[in-house]
Each structure stands twice: as structure tokens, then as C-alpha cells.
Amino acid sequence: MTTDRAMRDTDRMERPAPPAPEPLPRPVLDSHVHLDIVGSDGAGASPEAQVEAARAVGVDRLVQVGIDVESSRWGITVAEKNPAVVATVALHPNDGPRLADLDAALAEISAMAEHERCRGIGETGLDFFRTTGPAELAAQERSFRAHIAIAKRVGKPLVIHDRDAHADVLRVLDDEGAPETVVLHCFSGDADFAAECVRRGYVLSFAGTVTFKNAVGLREAARLTPLTQLLVETDAPFLTPTPHRGAPNASYLIPLTMRALAEVKEVPLADLCDAISATGDRVFGPWP
């Protein structure tokens, strides 16, 4: 997630929803979406409407991502009701420094992490874009380390938010010892950082940003990422892919990013769908 609820781009939410793209030849997942804050101008306000719009274009599985106690609890509830959805739970890096009782919130996340429909711990990590001082940095890092411990305790993948913090994310993971599965959500690094993450066995998830005209370095990172370590996501309602950049995003727009990735990887679209689908099941599955 690129921002929190207090920083939503309401202008984007009010723009018309893009039309549905051509369906994918094989089913694939959206590995990172915020169904609770996708605008009603997108695939519809209800999770059920968003799931159906996605399914119509070949996106048959969604990972609903938590950013605080409330959204984490909400995601599990939705996943219990909808077999196409699984959830992750976490405190977003920007939220940790603002909490009056970080330990209490972490305890709630830890308890929810044991739920069967919770399939990942995240999005957690470090965000230096809006960090204002050492106290915030310390709170973010403490929260990140706690999430790593939770992921290792419950044996579930760690979903990382990394904004302007590449080296420090790796430092903390090295200090704590990374969980068996680590996903770099909305990968934003260059080819060198991608190569380091690939070497460590991490999974890189690419969002609509890979379609942006100026994202040359990001496409280079995607090009060198093995298919077995590649995921695709929307981060909806943010990061809408070209040609609809600036409009509200939703899971049904995944085919646009998939086609861009297939071109970058120089592989048939159907083969890319199969590879990413298999990685999604390995990381988060099985879906019922």
C-alpha cells in the first residue's frame, strides 16, 4: 500500500472506472489488494462485486491485505465468507509510530495470524518516504521485527512494504533471520536490488508501476526475476496501470499488468499466467 487512509487520493476515487480489459487466457491471482478501500467507482463497493469483476477477466484469486487491526480483522471475515479471497494481517509501517500502544496492537495481529484464512503477515516493513525523525524510525523498525517474529512463529509468508528503505529492509531481515517465504510487495527497486532479493530466494511482486513509461529500471528488475519468484498485484485502489494511470484501480485490471510483464519477460502470456498462478498457490494457497 502506497499510503494510508488519511492520505487517500479522493480525486482518483471519483474518476470513472476504466473499462474491463481483454480476459486472460489462463487464471491468475491478484497477490495484493485492499478490497476495503477500493472506491465504489471501481469494480463495486462490495467485496463480492469486486471478486466477480475480477473473475470475469480471469483473475480468480485475491489476497486481501491488512494495514491495521481493523482492516486485518475485516479481511479475515471476508475470507471466511468468500473462497476466492485469503487475507493477510499486519500494522502498516506508517501506522506503528502513531499508535498509543504498539504492543497491544501487535498482540492482536499475532492472535489473528493463527487463523486458517490468514495466509500471510503483512504488509509490514519500512517506509522512509514520510518518516520525520529517529523516534518514528525506531517504532517502524520495532514493529517490523515483531512482524518477522510472528511470521516465523506461525510459518506464514512475510509481505514487505519497502519504500525508500531497500538496504535497511535487508539489514533487519538479516538481523532477525528471514522467514522461509518473503514477498516484496509492489517491488520498487532497480535491477541490482532485484538481483540481491532473488539471490536470497525472495518473491518479487510487481504492480501497475511496471507499465509506467518512465519505469525502465523496474522493467529491468522484472526481466531478471525468475518466473518461480514472480508475482503480480494491483495494490488497488492505487497504482493503476497504463493506459488508465490516475483512475481508480481494482483487481479486474490485472490483465494490463500481466500483458506488460509477458512482453518484458518475452514469454507467452498463458505461460506467464501458469507460472504466477503456481507461485501464488505455493506462497498463499491453497484456495478452496
Binding residues: 32, 34, 123, 161, 185, 235
Would you list which residues are annotated within the binding site for a divalent metal cation? Answer: 32, 34, 123, 161, 185, 235
Query: What sections of the chain are H helices per DSSP?
Result: 10-13, 47-55, 69-81, 102-112, 134-154, 166-176, 191-199, 216-224, 254-265, 269-284
Q: Reduce the DSSP state of residue 256 to 3 states and report it.
A: helix
Identity of the amino acid at 249? N
Burial of 85 (0-12, 13-18, 19+ CB in 10 A): buried
CA dist 242 and 95 (Å) reads 30
Nearest to 68 by CA among 109, 128, 113: 109
Cα separation, 24 vs 180, in Å, equals 31
**How far is Cα 24 from Cα 288, in angstroms, rounded to an integer?**
21
Instruction: Return the percent helix, strand and coil in the chain, to nearest 5.
Output: 45, 15, 40
CB 284 within 8 A of CB 119: yes
